[in-house]
Chain A
Amino acid sequence: MFLCAELPSYLWLPAQAADSAQGGAKSLALRSVSDLLRSYLTVAIFGAAAVLMAFTMFGVARVLRPQRPTPQKLIAYESGVDPVGSDWTQSQIRYYVFAVLFVLFDVEAVFIFPWATRLEVYALFGLVEMAIFIFILVLGLFYAWRKGVLRWV
């Protein structure tokens, strides 16, 4: 217990007990905010665990593997031929255009998600609104299509 006493109660008591330990009736809004943050704390812990796992493996590998770098070994691999020119070459612009289009539609998706969860409430009004929204975006897609942006040259 002397260890636990150092920690805030929400870390070591079950959630409801922790609430009563902090002075009984807490407002619903407050509790759900703390629950929300705590569920993302789990996400952060899992992310950290993944990184930690990778680095543990690297540590194990460091003990087991040989390490004898030679200049030839460290040349970029180009099927056995010595690389010519700089390795960071210019790449085609076509990837850039697709990236811009992607941003457009990804933002659209962000708008559609909250709408999709509440469609029953918005009913016909929401449906018409979203139909107009999607129509405008489809117009944009067709414009890009007609302009030949979607053609892979």
Chain B
Amino acid sequence: MTGALGLAYWAETSIKLGVALIVIPTAALMLGYLFLLKMMAFMQSRLGPQDVGPYGTLQLIADAVKFLQKEDIHPAAADRRVFRAAPVVVLASSFLLFVVLPTGPDAVVENLDTGIFYAMAVSSLSVLGVLMAGWASANKYALLGGLRAAGQLIAYELPLILAVMGVVIQADSLNLQEIVRAQAEGEIFGFGLIGNPFILTQFIGFLIFMISAQAELTQTPFDMPVAETELVGGFHVEYTGFRFLLFFMAEVATAFAFSALATVMFLGGWWIPGFDFDAPVLNVLGPVVMLVKILVVAFIIFWIRFTYPRLREDQLQKFAWKVLIPLSLANIVVTGIFKVVL
């Protein structure tokens, strides 16, 4: 258990915590600026933010400062304590996701044995926060949005978990480092140079995972719970100022974390072809490789978000229960057969 740096537990944990406290907001700001502001603008033939900082890079920081100065309004009818706690629950859920994400042989906060299981469990905590927000606001829009969000999140959580199962079967482990190792040491028809990124053997699983992740993040084809045109924002209608910003930050940070999970499970993670799995230099190069892959995956998520129109609530539920869940169950059985027979 001695960490890579050979330091005492508390020292190492403090360093990791410090890094995480810098990395997580930076990740959220980067995705927010690159995709939500600039890419969306370009895709809609606009220029996006221009004035704050070079190319508008500091726009989101200016926005955060603005949010800090906004009055914090609690509706008179709201359940105050739950209303205040809800954004913290959502933020903590996305923060805890980052604990298991590996970015190098030793560059991981805590290499939990239950890795992917833990990640799925923690990410589903956000449902609780959303329901709390929707219920405690004592607003009809918020209640409808919260219920829709809960219905959608639980419906798409199942295919998400079941899609992961194929990867677990192939890697024989829940541990994310072991999943990366299985891909690094795998072979494609006896050709082992690039390992065996599971996107090749688990392509169906990858598709199911990405679609479900899109729904879990309530990004656009699946953004019924926060539909502006009919629910004026859903569960966060009543939130102002910094509490609203926490929801926003958590959403973008979770998008980053889910892209990272997809990278680790399907795209080979931080490993670079040609290197030893344990090469110490990968602790430096690994995070860079991870970042590039994460940005590619996140690009796909936001690209779909800006391209497709919203699904109707019944279509959305039907798609999850009648297409994705049977498909992912079939995927498990087929993967199992290949694992045992081959």
| Residues of A near any B CB (own CB < 8 A) | 10-16, 35-36, 38-40, 42-43, 45-47, 49-51, 53-55, 57-58, 60-62, 64-69, 71, 73-79, 83, 87-89, 91, 95, 98-99, 101-102, 105-106, 109, 112-113, 116-120, 123-124, 126-127, 130-131, 134, 137-138, 141, 145, 150-152
Residue of B nearest to A35 (CB): B1
- From B77, B95, B117, contact of A47 by CB (8 A): B95
Complex contact B21–A53 (CB within 8 A):
yes
Write out the residue numbers on chain B whose beta carbons fall within 8 Å of the beta carbon of A46: 17, 20, 95-96, 98-99, 109
Complex contact A54–B246 (CB within 8 A):
yes
Complex contact B8–A134 (CB within 8 A):
no
Q: How close is B264's CB to chain A, nearest CB, in angstroms?
A: 16
- Asked if A13 meets B8 with Cβ closer than 8 Å, knowing A42-B109, A47-B96, the reply is yes
Write out the residue numbers on chain B whose beta carbons fall within 8 Å of the beta carbon of A49: 17, 20-21, 95
| Residues of B near any A CB (own CB < 8 A) | 1-3, 6-10, 13, 16-17, 20-21, 67-77, 87-88, 91-92, 95-96, 98-99, 109-113, 117-118, 135, 137-141, 143-144, 147, 150-151, 154-155, 157-158, 161-162, 165, 168-169, 172-174, 232, 237-238, 241-243, 246, 313-314, 317-318, 321-322, 325-326, 329, 332-333, 336-337, 339-340
Residue of B nearest to A19 (CB): B1
Complex contact A71–B76 (CB within 8 A):
yes
Write out the residue numbers on chain A whose beta carbons fall within 8 Å of the beta carbon of B340: 119-120, 123-124, 126-127
The contact sample of 15 A-B pairs, CB cut-off 8 A, is A10-B9, A16-B2, A43-B96, A45-B17, A49-B17, A60-B68, A61-B72, A65-B70, A67-B71, A76-B137, A98-B154, A98-B317, A102-B158, A117-B173, A152-B314
Is the contact region of chain B dominated by helix, strand, or loop, or is it mixed?
helix
Write out the residue numbers on chain B whose beta carbons fall within 8 Å of the beta carbon of A47: 92, 95-96
Complex contact A15–B2 (CB within 8 A):
yes
Write out the residue numbers on chain B whose beta carbons fall within 8 Å of the beta carbon of A71: 76
Distance in angstroms between the alpha carbons of A36 and B110 in the assembled complex? 10
